Amino acid sequence: MLKGLLLDFYGTVVEDDDVMMAEIAEQVAARASVPVSGRDVATAWGAEFEAVASGPRFRSMRDSAMSSLASVMVDVGCAGDAAALCAAQFRYWRSPPLRPGTREFLSRVTVPICLVSDVDSDDLKAAMAHHGVAFTAVVTSEAARAYKPDRAMFSRALAALGLEAHEVLHVGDSLAADVGGAHAAGIRAVWVNHRGQNAPRDAPIAYEITDLSALAEIIR
């Protein structure tokens, strides 16, 4: 019997920052001293961010974003301040638009929900306040000192709800961080496939949806 939900935030409850990151990457590419496309910059930034975030020392999401972008800017010969370029991204994190189906879902759900988000605690709090939404519990990477798919994130969320792994579903849009992380913690995963991707056949997906409106039927 389902007794609770673990819920990713960016890309699941609200829109992710893909467009904002692409705009920043285009600015870096335009100022680079070597021929490079915005897509190449975005790809390199994403890879460098993953390397920084998974390093031995925990670094906040803001710090990871700035330091990884600064590294890419050096590689492509782009002068400027990475913090200044990231400022728009940080503003976005605090007031992202809701994804389709979110309001409908939140108005119908009756089980307790714990948000499980990689974003910094203050930015998540601001985004929730921006939309006037609240949840039973919130677990951030900043609090856990770890990023998904680290098991610590899911263990903290279960503890916050006082539930066992078999009593919840985890819902998120990342195959690696959300689906893979939840599965490793013994939790069934709902994949929010809003980008129309094709998942590997062996991906441990219990359910696949495009937005949260479909989740209400699953948990009935």
Which of 50, 65, 93 is the last residue in one of the domains? Answer: 93
The pTM (predicted TM-score) of the whole model is: 0.94
Which of 93, 112, 143 is the last residue in one of the domains? Answer: 93
Read off the pLDDT of residues 135-169 as tens digits, 9 standing for 90 and up.
Answer: 999 999 999 999 999 999 999 999 999 999 999 99
Mean pLDDT in residue range 109-126: 97
Per-residue pLDDT at 211 exceeds 80: yes
Read off the pLDDT of residues 54-81 as tens digits, 9 standing for 90 and up.
Answer: 889 999 999 999 999 999 999 999 999 9
11 and 22, same domain (yes or no): no
Structure-block tokens of residue 18: 């893909």
User: What's the structural domain count of the chain?
Assistant: 2
DSSP state of 212: G
108 and 212, same domain (yes or no): yes
Which of 93, 117, 132 is the last residue in one of the domains? Answer: 93
Q: Sheet containing 168-172: give its strands across.
A: 137-140, 113-117, 4-7, 168-172, 188-192, 207-209
192 and 173, same domain (yes or no): yes
pLDDT at 199: 94
Listed in order, strand segments (DSSP E) in the chain are 4-7, 113-117, 137-140, 168-172, 188-192, 207-209
87 and 166, same domain (yes or no): no
113 and 66, same domain (yes or no): no
124 and 178, same domain (yes or no): yes
Residue 37 CA to residue 174 CA, distance in Å, equals 25
Enclosing domain of residue 117: 4-15+96-218
